[in-house]
Amino acid sequence: MREIHARLGPEGRVEAAFAASELVREAVVAGIRMRQPDLDDEGVKDEVIRIFYGDELAAKVRAAKAERAASVERRHPEGAR
């Protein structure tokens, strides 16, 4: 394994790391969709954040998204369009 990494060089190792990270993310998304098929895309994103970064950060992200949506609604009420 060490020889393979040496042959890749620094740029190749970075590319391999990004590719591995993407594969992990895709596997997590597939698992979420399999276990919770009723989730929409936003729900899947929220669950990915929870899995990778934990409940505390996921709760903060959900709160920030809700606040942003409320702010947009206050500035652009549905009836005023």
Q: What percent of the chain has pLDDT over 70?
A: 96
pLDDT at 73: 85
Q: Tell me the pLDDT tens digit for each residue of 28-48.
A: 999 999 999 999 999 999 999
pLDDT at 79: 54
Helix 2-35 to helix 41-53 angle (10° resolution) is: 130
Q: Taking 70 as the threshold, does the pLDDT of residue 80 lie above it? A: no
Distance between CA atoms of 37 and 44, rounded to whole angstroms?
Answer: 9
